[in-house]
Amino acid sequence: MIYLDYAATTPMSERAIEVYTKVARSYFANSQSLHDEGTSAAQLLEIARQTVANEINGDPSGVYFTSGGTESNILAINGLVKKHKSGHLITAKAEHSSILNTFQQLEREGFDVTYLGYDDKGRIQIDKLIESLREDTLLVSIAHGNSEIGTRQPIEEIGAELAKRRILFHTDAVQTFGKVPIDVKSMNLTALSVSSHKLHGPKGVGACYIAPAESWHPSLPGTVHEKGFRPGTVDVPGIFAFTAAVEEATTNMDATVAYCNELRDVFLSECGGTNVVIEGGNDALSHIVGIRLKGIEGQYVMNELNQKGIAVSTGSACSIGQQSPSKTLKAMGRSDDEARELVRISFGKHTTKEEIVRTKALINGILSRFHRHHPNHVE
């Protein structure tokens, strides 16, 4: 199998597996327990907290470990917003479902929400965002990197504008953490969500950062774990394996980005000609390529490649018998038919150039067969 779905999840690194196994054997105690074994586990947890904080230029007291990006998004937004009974919130139309579902729930609870679209490259327009701000705007949540086409948002510019107005700012950095530098201070971020399994760590682990100067509302009063941020015994082995993966990713970040850019160039070179549309522009994340094969549904392309042993994604959830339009492309103004054409190719450090060349050849073959059978298709 040629695996080209790294934006969905990544295989655990050997180092992360090794660390998980060692910590699970030697530091299995509950970090809240008051005996020596519990204290040892708690000390390890604080080392992990410092590691994550170092990578985002944050304070370790603002790092809370969670079950992943989804929970981090939900807890961060609710925690910051529910200090208030009402107010105005802003997000984008193509955020992760955990964010959109949370904002929709907050609407039902009486908050007003503005959902921003994108320009034709998938970027938030700063002027549109500024126009949407109100005196009662409490919080803005914009993802750092888009999971379908890899577009990077102008987080520093947005953060600067929001800081002037003292508006809270959250970003979902699940696709960017460990892949591009992140500085919560220079970006003026109030809160940040990250996940372990996107950078070769274990699943079921993530982290949320909330600036220590900012108060938050607990999801469940009386909770003791993670200073009351979330209930449930903390997964010390998983968290320490996560931080091992973080250290690997950040240490090798420049080399990995350069290698993924090489893979990207190989893939895009002579891929489909005018019958392939590259979505997201030139500033997209190096490891994500969002393409459209004109006139062909992405689900069909995905199934054809899967039969040849190649795993890619449509970039959106599929219902039985019909692919849902990409919410990112819809937010960019594409038609439903165009938005159903999206195919996401995402790669990583284990991907080879030979795998990319084979995938490109198969995609070109799909295009050739389609246009042979549909000679009257208009580009």
pLDDT, one tens digit per residue, over 204-263 is 999 999 999 999 998 888 787 788 799 988 999 999 999 999 999 999 999 999 999 999
pLDDT(378) > 60: no
Compute the C-alpha angle 147/170/48, nearest 5°.
85
Is domain 2-7+253-369 given the CATH code 3.90.1150.10 in the classification? yes
CA distance 144 to 192: 9
In angstroms, the Cα distances linking 204 to 24, 65, 77, 148 are: 15, 10, 20, 22
Domain span(s) for CATH 3.40.640.10 in the chain: 14-251
The pLDDT assigned to 377 comes to: 55
Percent of the chain with pLDDT over 90: 81
Among 314, 302, 286, 278, which Cα is nearest to 366's? 302
User: For 64, how many CA atoms within 13 A lie in the half-sphere containing its CB?
Assistant: 30
- Among the ranges given (8-17, 29-38, 133-142, 212-221), the one the predictor scored with the smallest mean pLDDT: 29-38
- Joined tokens for residue 305: 């490649």
For range 41-48, the mean pLDDT: 90
The pLDDT assigned to 271 comes to: 77
- Joined tokens for residue 224: 């003791």
For the beta sheet containing 206-210, the strands, ordered from the edge strand earlier in sequence to the opposite edge, are 63-66, 206-210, 191-195, 168-172, 137-141, 88-92, 112-116
Task: Write down the pTM of the prediction.
Answer: 0.94
The amino acid present at 366, given as its one-letter code, is I
pLDDT, one tens digit per residue, over 78-88 is 999 999 989 99
CA distance 193 to 309: 33
Domain span(s) for CATH 3.90.1150.10 in the chain: 2-7+253-369
63 C-beta neighbours (distance < 10 Å), count: 25
pLDDT, one tens digit per residue, over 150-207 is 999 999 999 999 999 999 999 999 999 999 999 999 999 999 999 999 999 999 999 9
CA distance 327 to 258: 29
Q: Which helix (H) or strand (E) holds 141?
A: strand 137-141
Q: Which helix (H) or strand (E) holds 264?
A: helix 253-268
In angstroms, the Cα distances linking 17 to 3, 13, 24, 50, 350 are: 20, 6, 10, 21, 16
CA distance 112 to 114: 7
- Indicate which residues carry an active-site annotation: 318
- Joined tokens for residue 364: 């070109």
Phi and psi angles of residue 313, each rounded to the nearest 5 degrees, phi first? -130, 155
pLDDT, one tens digit per residue, over 299-357 is 999 999 999 999 999 965 444 445 689 999 999 999 999 999 999 999 999 999 999 99
Using an 8 Å Cβ cutoff, are 265 and 353 in contact? no
**Helices 298-307 and 353-373, packing angle to 10 deg:** 120
CA distance 46 to 58: 14
For the domain 14-251, what is the CATH code?
3.40.640.10
